[in-house]
Amino acid sequence: MKISFLLTLGIGIPVFKALAIKPADPSFTPPTLSHQPFGYGGLSTGGSLNTSSESIFIVSNATELKDALALPFAKTIYVNGTINGNELPDGRLATCQDYIDMTGSPGADIRNFNFTQYLLSMNTTYTALIDQAIAQNVTFEGMNATEYKTLLSHMNGWRPVLANTMKSQVGFHLTNDTSVIGLDENAALNGGEFYVASVDNVWIRNMKLVSPQDCFPAPETFPSSWNSLYDAVGVVTATNLWVDSCELQDQLSGEYVQPDEILGWQVDRFDGLFDAEDGSDNITFSHNIVRNHHKSMLLGGGTKEAPRDLGKMHFTVFGNLFNGSASRSPTMRFGTFDVLANVYENVNDNNPIFDTNATLLPASTDSEIQSRADGDSDDDVPLDAVFEYILGVYNQSTVQIQDNVFMQTGSDPTDLSRIFTISESTLPEFPARVCVHESDFFSTMNGQPIDNLTVVMQDTIDHFVETGSMVEGAVVVTCEGIEIGYELPKKFGSAEEVVTYVMAEAGQH
């Protein structure tokens, strides 16, 4: 049976589109996954609210996934194998040049876009040399200087149009009441972004989520700071979301992707792995692995958009493994964030930021809670992969920290000064509040109990006030009126238990 439904074009002309996508055979037995939703996203049901056997789909290519996601009713979509975000409807895998060649009509000027020339067009030293050649009526790099200057002047305007071509290919838009679930540990969306935008009640489970690499990023600061467009999951004004047992990373292998070197720039083609903003709410991010990434999780929008977030943005971040996450694990703005029982492993080759009064107690004999990474300092680590910090606390957020375990290797494996960072905290009248629960046991740093993480947080604040990067009183350490208002899947009695649990439960199964 083919499912047909009404698609309404922007101009209001209804068209019938016959979809190739068919429900799964009734004999299909879905995989058994162990976790249940809990925490702030605990009320979400995803597609499971639909008990009709006709609401279950199995997809294995990009077109099928897009067609299934667009179905306007509650459904569960199982992903079978790796789906490439850049897979064109004819099965070819698009390159960056393809997005250029696909934009505009054949022969259109925009198809002359060239990323190297785009970078050159922003180099005023370079363009001054072209102006000189024009003034002297001589050629420039073998080209007519006037014509070359005109060509370069278009690059900046063409870039966002090309970016839209790419975005429409690699973007996968969820609709209300949907579950996307990997059939097994081979399930992946490779180089695609799940847009969870203006939708309610979504599950994303048991998937490898590999962020697209932006073909058309914009440079920010030489040589390695870039504005790239894509996250693996982008959450905008979405509610009741549960992301569980996923693995979020730069490429299928899990390795960090080295930036391209172009004209001395290191091109970082990634943004976040899981970013959320614009009044999103009731979200649980649990039992996931976040690995080898620069800017992992930014929760909360910019300062100008604060009114959209305030009072919303409730997140539970529980039971995840962050391994080689250089920053934002997560960074938290304008919302309520419970960061509980996560394991963090980093190679810390950075200088300590400040001295803390907190001390490390003698190491536990249990090697489970010490770093497993090989501790070799790597001189070849690109700038944007160097470990910066774990938890970012921004303006007006309410943050609870409990039962997290830290592991470090590198040149400074016992440094505590990069557990927290603070920025954009300027409003003592609406302070961010951080509650550090020391539950039944101390958080550990590489096997050594941290005698007082509250003191580390307070010292972080004092440091940032002293250096003038935050206003005194804009972040306060307190647990007054702050508690975890729901049942967690597990209660822990030691750091070892946290690690054992996270190792067993985080990631795909």
Q: Which is nearer to ligand NAG, 396 or 443 (CB)?
A: 443
Q: What is d(CA 332, CA 20) in angstroms, rounded to the nearest whole number?
A: 42
Q: Nearest CA to 494 among 321, 364, 372? A: 364
Q: Which is nearer to ligand NAG, 121 or 395 (CB)?
A: 121
Closest separation in Å from C-beta 457 to ligand NAG = 8
Closest separation in Å from C-beta 232 to ligand NAG = 18
Summarize as ranges the residues that interact with ligand NAG (CB under 6 A).
20, 28, 43, 50, 52, 54-55, 58, 60-61, 63-64, 73-74, 80-81, 91, 114, 116-117, 123, 125-126, 137-139, 144, 146-147, 176, 183, 199-200, 222, 239-240, 263-264, 281-282, 321, 323-324, 345, 357, 372-373, 438, 452, 454-455, 458-459
Residue nearest to ligand NAG (CB): 54
Q: What is d(CA 460, CA 304) in angstroms, rounded to the nearest whole number?
A: 25
Closest separation in Å from C-beta 146 to ligand NAG = 4
Closest separation in Å from C-beta 236 to ligand NAG = 13
Q: What is d(CA 102, CA 84) in angstroms, rounded to the nearest whole number?
A: 18
Q: HSE on the CB side for 97, CA within 13 Å? A: 1
491: left (phi over 0), alpha (psi -120 to 50) or beta: beta
Closest separation in Å from C-beta 130 to ligand NAG = 10
Closest separation in Å from C-beta 183 to ligand NAG = 6
Q: What is d(CA 466, CA 11) in angstroms, rounded to the nearest whole number?
A: 57
Q: Which is nearer to ligand NAG, 81 or 382 (CB)?
A: 81
Q: Which residues of 164-188 are buried (b: 16+ CB within 10 A; e: fewer)?
A: ebbbebbbbebbbbbbbbbbeeebb
Q: Which is nearer to ligand NAG, 63 or 426 (CB)?
A: 63
Helix ranges (DSSP H) in 280-384: 306-309
Q: Which is nearer to ligand NAG, 183 or 385 (CB)?
A: 183
Q: Which residues are CB-contacts of 229 (< 8 A; sequence separation ≥ 6)?
A: 163, 167, 214, 216, 217, 271
Q: Which is nearer to ligand NAG, 61 or 423 (CB)?
A: 61
Q: Which is nearer to ligand NAG, 6 or 20 (CB)?
A: 20
Q: Which is nearer to ligand NAG, 25 or 429 (CB)?
A: 25
Closest separation in Å from C-beta 25 to ligand NAG = 8
Closest separation in Å from C-beta 4 to ligand NAG = 12
DSSP states of 361-387: PPPPS-GGGS--S-----TT--GGGS-
Expressed in percent and rounded to 5, the helix, strand and coil fractions of the chain are 20, 30, 45
Exposed (0-12), middle (13-18) or buried (19+): which is 228, by Cβ within 10 Å?
Answer: buried
Give the DSSP letter of residue 330: S
Coil/strand/helix, residue 234: strand
